[in-house]
């Protein structure tokens, strides 16, 4: 990557505006894959998806396909999904269970941790061919770390620890887990995969945007407000309609009752959103009451109150993860090209919670993250339209300045917007973006790796 580009990039981010090329330039996207997705701790999956030795799931680190696997010693390994012989993708199913991985081309067979186990037709290789040489393995991703069941990995062999990178945002992961009466959560209920023709950053920039629902979601807000409540519902429609009406809260609500917090490395959350009157599954809902009582029985009244006091809407962990704890939602962002993004969304079951809680989780997932949702479809339209707009050179700069002069520093190293309609979380992501993009560390590590293999 040219030094010229690195220098230019700094000019593309100004205090309250950014240049359109950040979202449209294929060269910048390639540099993001190296300097951000090639370095940062990326969320890959949850331990409940690979509970037993041999369980694996396939995902991507940036554009690189990897396999996340539970090894025989129960440790978690992440290996590039690529045969050391001719480069073929070895593991073809999205998830499963295996004793070993075997390439379907010439039968090279690997241990779960990627080391070569056997090759057929061993004669005829060069004299120095050594099956124990790491270059004849499925390459290991150097750093893998799990925080309370959430599996992260980094392609950089060294750098800040996961805990240091998360900083105070660890509490959003805690919030996901602590809500389970039995103290454990599990991925359940399938997944949505939605795709749009637009840059990956647009998605994260929308998740904490409290100023868009009033406009973007107008059609579903209006339709839900007009809906008669005495029409048959098995509960699913009821939750969906409640959520759509909530999206129609006036600006005064967003400006007085909801806050936005941001932290180093691009992380942020929208908070204080839900309380007794605002929670979508309201506190006086019989299912929620039953859940609270299960939580109190397992954890004690005071601890349960502490847990439920955390009232966050979306928490975003830069650059590829977003969560919502009240309805146990998680989204993973997969950048495909500068103008194409896939988002995978998952639900969690709270172990020890009433069954109906999970049924509500599913209804909520359908309306908030569903590919055919009455809400998300208008967000996807916005992502596509931003790309269509930005493809023009008619306007060079995008505004990210709302709330710029009213940011408030926080004691724990974060910064808070004056209220939730501040674009501080976008500016905060760009602070991280500039730091990642101008850091030469990834080039060094790639260089080191290349030398080790030569």
Shortest distance in whole angstroms from residue 366 CB to another protein = 6
Residues at the site binding another protein, with contacts judged by CB under 8 A? 188-197, 216, 218-220, 222-224, 226-229, 231-238, 240-241, 244, 342, 347, 358-359, 362-363, 365-366, 369-372, 374, 376-378, 380-382, 384-385
Compare residues 268 and 314 and give the one whose CB is closer to another protein.
314
Phi, psi of 109, rounded to the nearest 5 degrees: -120, 135
Compare residues 89 and 382 and give the one whose CB is closer to another protein.
382
Compare residues 28 and 368 and give the one whose CB is closer to another protein.
368
Compare residues 57 and 119 and give the one whose CB is closer to another protein.
57
Which of 280, 282, 260 is CA-nearest to residue 272? Answer: 260
Compare residues 191 and 435 and give the one whose CB is closer to another protein.
191
Shortest distance in whole angstroms from residue 139 CB to another protein = 26
Bond preceding residue 228 cis, omega within 30 of 0:
no
Shortest distance in whole angstroms from residue 193 CB to another protein = 4
Instruction: Give me the DSSP letters along 369-380.
Output: H-TT-TTHHHHH
Residue 13's contacts (CB-CB under 8 Å, 6 or more residues apart) are: 19, 22, 430, 433, 434
Helices (H), 122-279: 162-166, 170-178, 200-207, 213-216, 218-225, 236-247, 251-257
Which residues lie across from 154 on neighbouring strands?
143
Cα-Cα-Cα-Cα dihedral of 348, 354, 356, 357, to 10°?
Answer: -40
Compare residues 235 and 447 and give the one whose CB is closer to another protein.
235
Compare residues 260 and 374 and give the one whose CB is closer to another protein.
374
Compare residues 216 and 445 and give the one whose CB is closer to another protein.
216
- In a 3-state reduction of DSSP, which class is residue 185? strand
Paired tokens of 55 = 């369980």
Phi, psi of 187, rounded to the nearest 5 degrees: -70, 130
Shortest distance in whole angstroms from residue 89 CB to another protein = 18
Shortest distance in whole angstroms from residue 375 CB to another protein = 10
Q: Count CB-CB contacts under 10 A for residue 247.
A: 18
Cα atoms in the Cβ-side hemisphere of radius 13 Å centred on 5 = 16
Shortest distance in whole angstroms from residue 184 CB to another protein = 18
Compare residues 217 and 274 and give the one whose CB is closer to another protein.
217
For residues 196 and 23, what is the distance between their CA atoms, to the nearest angstrom? 14
Shortest distance in whole angstroms from residue 235 CB to another protein = 8
Shortest distance in whole angstroms from residue 382 CB to another protein = 7
Find out whether 336 and 194 touch, Cβ atoms under 8 Å: no
Shortest distance in whole angstroms from residue 362 CB to another protein = 6
Q: Taking the alpha carbons of 110, 115, 119, 124 in that order, is the dihedral positive or negative?
A: positive
Paired tokens of 130 = 């050594």
Shortest distance in whole angstroms from residue 213 CB to another protein = 13
Compare residues 279 and 374 and give the one whose CB is closer to another protein.
374
What's the Cα-to-Cα distance from 194 to each of 46, 272, 283, 372, rounded to whole Å? 20, 28, 31, 10
Q: Count CB-CB contacts under 10 A for residue 47.
A: 19
Paired tokens of 294 = 């299960």
Compare residues 328 and 420 and give the one whose CB is closer to another protein.
328
Question: Could you report how far apart the first and last alpha carbons of the chain are, in Å?
Answer: 21
Find out whether 67 and 79 touch, Cβ atoms under 8 Å: yes
Shortest distance in whole angstroms from residue 210 CB to another protein = 18
Find out whether 437 and 33 touch, Cβ atoms under 8 Å: no
Compare residues 262 and 322 and give the one whose CB is closer to another protein.
322
Q: How far is CA 341 from the centre of its chain?
A: 12
Paired tokens of 329 = 């939602």
Shortest distance in whole angstroms from residue 310 CB to another protein = 25
């Amino acid at each position: 990557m040219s030094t010229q580009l690195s220098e230019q990039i700094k000019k593309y981010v100004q205090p309250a505006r950014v240049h359109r090329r950040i979202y449209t330039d294929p060269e910048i996207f390639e540099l993001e894959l190296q300097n951000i997705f090639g370095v940062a701790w990326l969320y890959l999956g949850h331990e409940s998806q690979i509970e037993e030795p041999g369980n694996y799931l396939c995902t991507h680190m940036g554009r690189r396909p990897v396999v996340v696997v539970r090894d025989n010693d129960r440790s978690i390994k992440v290996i590039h999904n690529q045969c050391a012989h001719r480069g073929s993708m070895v593991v073809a199913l999205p998830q499963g269970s295996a004793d070993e991985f075997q390439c379907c081309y010439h039968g090279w067979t690997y241990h779960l941790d990627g080391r070569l186990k056997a090759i057929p037709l061993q004669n005829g290789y060069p004299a120095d061919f050594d099956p124990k040489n790491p270059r004849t393995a499925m390459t290991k991703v150097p750093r893998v770390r799990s925080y309370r069941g959430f599996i992260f990995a980094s392609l950089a062999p060294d750098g800040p620890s996961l805990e240091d990178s998360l900083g105070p945002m660890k509490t959003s992961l805690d919030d996901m887990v602590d809500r389970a009466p039995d103290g454990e959560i599990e991925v359940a209920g399938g997944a949505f995969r939605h795709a749009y023709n637009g840059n990956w950053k647009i998605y994260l920039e929308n998740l904490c945007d409290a100023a868009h629902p009033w406009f973007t979601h107008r059609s579903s807000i209006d339709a839900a407000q007009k809906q008669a409540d005495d029409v048959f519902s098995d509960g699913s429609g009821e939750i969906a309609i409640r959520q759509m009406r909530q999206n129609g809260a006036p600006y005064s609500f967003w400006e007085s009752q909801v806050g936005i917090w941001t932290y180093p490395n691009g992380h942020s959350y929208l908070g204080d959103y839900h309380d007794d009157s605002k929670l979508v599954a309201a506190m006086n809902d019989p299912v929620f009451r039953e859940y609270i009582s299960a939580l109190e029985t397992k954890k004690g009244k005071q601890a349960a109150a502490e847990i439920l006091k955390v009232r966050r809407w979306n928490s975003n962990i830069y650059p590829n993860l977003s969560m919502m704890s009240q309805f146990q939602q998680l989204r993973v962002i997969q950048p495909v090209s500068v103008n194409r993004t896939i988002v995978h969304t998952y639900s969690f079951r709270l172990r020890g919670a009433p069954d109906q809680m999970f049924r509500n989780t599913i209804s909520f997932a359908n309306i908030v993250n569903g590919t055919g949702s009455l809400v998300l479809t208008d967000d996807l339209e916005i992502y596509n339209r931003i790309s269509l707009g930005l493809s023009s050179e008619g306007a060079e700069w995008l505004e990210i300045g709302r709330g710029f002069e009213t940011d408030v520093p926080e004691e724990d190293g974060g910064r808070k917007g004056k209220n939730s309609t501040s674009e501080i979380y976008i500016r905060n992501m760009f602070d991280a973006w500039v730091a990642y993009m101008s850091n030469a560390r990834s080039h060094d590590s790639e260089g080191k790796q290349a030398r080790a293999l030569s």
